[in-house]
């Protein structure tokens, strides 16, 4: 096998490896990070629910702080769900871009048709 063919094979395998890393590694990494954040948030939610039982009905400041913490928890939950959705959409767009590039590459390599 000539050196030029060998280097073409190396470039081809390098390109496939880079595509695999881009397609899977970053998506999985950010998904794991979001799951860890979600687990910590969920554990903190149980602490908030537990402390809401101890709030007295007569103390307005404690009730306002509890309402504020519950509202903040709902906002954080919605932001986490939005992050999961954005990660899913980003991954879908990235896969579509890769598919379209592969289709474009295969179409340009076709021999011209004779009319």
Maximum distance among all alpha carbons in the chain? 88
What local confidence, expressed as pLDDT, does residue 53 receive? Answer: 76
Q: Given pLDDT bands bounded at 50, 70 and 90, which one contains residue 3? A: confident
Neighbours of 77 (CB within 10 A): 14
In the predicted model, what is the mean pLDDT of residues 82-101? 84
What local confidence, expressed as pLDDT, does residue 48 receive? Answer: 75
Indicate whether 74 pLDDT > 70. yes
Report in angstroms the alpha-carbon separations of 12 from 6, 46, 110. 10, 51, 19
Indicate whether 115 pLDDT > 70. no
pLDDT digit string, tens, across residues 23-72: 677 677 777 888 888 888 888 887 777 777 778 888 888 888 888 888 88
What local confidence, expressed as pLDDT, does residue 1 receive? Answer: 67
State the pTM of this model. Answer: 0.55
């Amino acid at each position: 096998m000539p050196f030029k063919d060998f280097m073409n094979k190396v470039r081809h395998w390098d390109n496939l490896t880079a595509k695999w890393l881009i397609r899977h590694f970053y998506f999985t990494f950010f998904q794991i990070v979001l799951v860890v954040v979600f687990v910590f948030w969920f554990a903190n939610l149980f602490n908030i629910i537990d402390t809401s039982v101890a709030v007295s009905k007569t103390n307005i400041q404690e009730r306002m702080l509890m309402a504020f913490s519950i509202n903040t928890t709902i906002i954080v939950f919605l932001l986490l769900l939005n992050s999961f959705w954005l990660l899913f959409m980003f991954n879908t767009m990235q896969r579509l871009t890769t598919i379209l590039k592969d289709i474009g590459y295969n179409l340009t390599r076709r021999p011209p048709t004779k009319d």
